[in-house]
Amino acid sequence: MQITREDRIRMERAHVRAWPALRTADIDGWLWRSSGGGSQRANSVSTIDFRGDNPGGAIDAVEASYVALDLPVRFQTFDETSPPELIDLLRKRGYRKGDPTTTMFKRVTSTTPSPDVEVQDAPWTEWQEVYLSAIIENRRAVNAIILDQIPRPRAFFGCRRNGKIVATALCAVGFGCAVIECAATRFDVRRAGAARAVLAGLEHWASRQSVDLIGLQVVANNEPAIALYRSLGFVAGSTNWYWVR
């Protein structure tokens, strides 16, 4: 599967849209985001677009905005970050990058949904219990708020086994892409096919939307998850980094 520059940019736009920060600002085209909690994405600057002529001045404005709130200064970059020299500018200012995140892509195909997968327009209580218990505690309160603000079209998926929701995922649509978020499986039922069932149901729903690509972002060293996604036809196509001063 060939991933083009346009594919990478619109998939990144779709991921930004799929996880809206609680507070945002436009800084010369960059999207400044702040939400509190432990989410890096919702507390960093998305660097897809840059419309200014002074990147250094824009970095100054970003830093001032975070410092005014007594928050860490954090940038998110990817393969098509604008302007291209931003990473060198951050390094010169003493920024350090964290662990990479891989964006994986797949052409949407029609799949057969599993009968044990439920689909709803909003996160219901059982769904939230599984997803929120799978993330670190300092992300839970903010992420619960963000879930209610995810723009439509969207759908929430849960696999029910023995009367209980055991695996979850969310799909949000934008820029011709379907984005997978909130993939989680209860620890005691992992490797039992629940995650595969959820993702098959999600892709079935996505195939009925106006999209041609489906994608997700996963920590680059999460080998079990990457192996699962590869077995489902996903390929790595872009890398994200978070830079902190």
Nearest in space to 52 (alpha carbons), one of 77, 23, 26, 13: 26
- What local confidence, expressed as pLDDT, does residue 117 receive? 97
SS3 label, residue 171: strand
Indicate the Cα dihedral angle 202, 20, 30, 27, nearest 10°.
Answer: 170
- What local confidence, expressed as pLDDT, does residue 113 receive? 86
Structural class in CATH, domain 105-238: alpha beta
Q: What is the pLDDT of residues 184-199, one digit of tens each?
A: 999 887 888 999 999 9
Rounded to two decimals, the pTM is: 0.95
- What local confidence, expressed as pLDDT, does residue 168 receive? 98
| Range(s) within the chain of domains with CATH label 3.40.630.30 | 105-238
Q: Which region, left, alpha or beta, applies to residue 82 given φ > 0 means left and ψ of -120 to 50 means alpha? A: beta
pLDDT along the chain (245 residues), means of 10: 96 98 98 94 97 98 97 97 98 96 95 92 97 93 95 98 97 98 91 92 96 97 95 97 96
- What local confidence, expressed as pLDDT, does residue 188 receive? 85
What is the CA angle 3-8-13, rounded to 5? 150
- What local confidence, expressed as pLDDT, does residue 197 receive? 96
For residue 165, the number of C-alpha atoms closer than 13 Å in the C-beta half-sphere is 24
- What local confidence, expressed as pLDDT, does residue 110 receive? 82
Q: Contact at 8 Å (CB) between 183 and 171? A: no
- What local confidence, expressed as pLDDT, does residue 62 receive? 98
Q: What is the pLDDT of residues 99-113, one digit of tens each?
A: 999 999 999 988 888
- What local confidence, expressed as pLDDT, does residue 22 receive? 97
